Amino acid sequence: MKGSIKAIIVLVAAIGLSVAGYQAVTRVSLGNGLAPGSQIDELHGVAIYYNGGVNQSRGRNTSADGYNLGIRYQCVEFVKRYYFERFGHRMPDAYGHAKSFFDHSLADGAFNEKRGLLQFSNGAGAVPQAEDILVFGPSLLNPYGHVGIVAQVNSYAVIIAQQNAGPILSSREALPLVQQGNGFRVENARVVGWLRLPAPIIP
């Protein structure tokens, strides 16, 4: 009995230390000399900023008329600011973590009403296009998911522009693109799919 209690205490302590370590690592800059809020890149004139530790929160960013762009300088804030500045797009549901951008109940190519965008599932056939929003699901160390903008697509890779990928990771990342059956798949287990502006209606 005493041995079991001791084992539980050790387990709880280990979990506590792990959580504390995770919280510390994801809230600090790792000595690269950049100040949070520094511009590190841009895509089509829309700035990408450095956030420091991935879980840092630097206040909510809104448009002049109050549209919620997200928490500075998280990944969601860049993606929503990009679509707002580049296309004037406002998501009907202006809140939510990155993982909530993808609705798993929708069929491939269906309209995602919360985001006001078409939704495509990874591996279902369609290939990402430039300026799509690539959506990553959660992971053990990132329960919130991640989003980025497709900057370029070629025959073997999808290159994304991203904000808050991590204190030492690049604002650009190349993800392998492979043919699968009659379609294509982004070869990353966390990529659940991508979102795209509907084609404009021509009268």
Q: Are 48 and 162 in contact (CB under 8 A)?
A: yes
pLDDT at 21 over 60: no
For 165-180, write each residue's pLDDT tens digit: 987 789 999 999 999 8
Tell me which CATH code domain 31-196 carries. 3.90.1720.10
pLDDT at 65 over 70: yes
Q: Are 178 and 187 in contact (CB under 8 A)?
A: yes
Q: State residue 15's pLDDT score.
A: 35
For 80-123, write each residue's pLDDT tens digit: 999 999 999 999 999 999 999 999 999 999 999 999 999 999 99
What percentage of the chain has pLDDT greater than the value 70?
A: 83
Nearest to 153 by CA among 135, 171, 180, 126: 126
- 1-15, 46-60, 95-109, 155-169: least confidently modelled range: 1-15
Q: State residue 10's pLDDT score.
A: 37
- From CA 14, how far away is CA 164, in angstroms rounded? 28
- From CA 123, how far away is CA 184, in angstroms rounded? 6
For 189-199, write each residue's pLDDT tens digit: 999 999 999 98
Q: State residue 70's pLDDT score.
A: 98
Coil/strand/helix, residue 92: coil
Phi, psi of 149 (to 5 degrees): -105, 135
Show Cβ contacts of residue 88 under 8 Å, excluding neighbours closer than 6 positions: none
pLDDT at 200 over 90: no
Give me the residue spans of the domains in the chain: 1-28, 31-196
Strand runs labelled E in the chain:
39-43, 46-49, 60-62, 68-71, 111-112, 117-121, 133-136, 146-153, 157-161, 172-180, 183-186, 191-196
Residue 12 to residues 95, 141, 191, Cα–Cα distance (Å)? 34, 18, 33
Query: What pLDDT band is residue 4 in, cutting at 50, 70 and 90?
Result: low
Instruction: Retrieve residue 119's tokens.
Output: 């939704």
